[in-house]
Amino acid sequence: MAKLTFKTDNCKGCGLCVDACPKNILQLSPDKINKKGHHPAELTDEAACIGCASCAIMCPDCVIKVER
């Protein structure tokens, strides 16, 4: 099973990871706001993650760590 870890406070809410995910299981949190003042990216369905790292590859800020 894949495991994602987010450095939430480094996230700038750009959404590039959201668009890159082939499983459509990322979103910008509608209710959380991080230290930078952005809505950070979060996983909506942990079990569906295939650990492909597409999200992490497109993230300009190295927010996402992917383990499999």
Partner 1 sequence: MVVFDKPHSLNEMSMHYCPGCTHGIIHRLVAEVMDELGIEGRTIGVAPVGCSVMAYNYFNCDMIEAAHGRAPAVATGVKRADPENHVVFTYQGDGDLASIGMAETVHAAARNENITVIFVNNAIYGMTGGQMAPTSLPGQVTQTSPYGRDVNHCGYPIKVCEMLSQLDGPEYLERVTVNSVKAVRNAKKAIKKAFQNQLDGKGFSLVEVVSSCPTNWGLTPQQALKWIDEKMIPYYPLGVYKDRSAGEDK
Q: Residues interacting with partner 1, by CB under 8 A?
A: 9-10, 12-16, 19-20, 36, 38, 51, 53-54, 56-62, 64-68
E strands, 2-68, in order:
3-6, 26-28, 41-43, 64-67
Q: 46 touches which of partner 1, ligand SF4, none (CB within 5 to 8 A by kind)?
A: none
CB atoms within 10 A of CB 7: 14
- Minimum distance of ligand SF4 from residue 31's CB (angstroms): 15
19: its two tokens: 């668009």
12: its two tokens: 């700038």
Member of 9, 33, 36, 51 binding ligand SF4 (CB under 6 A): 51
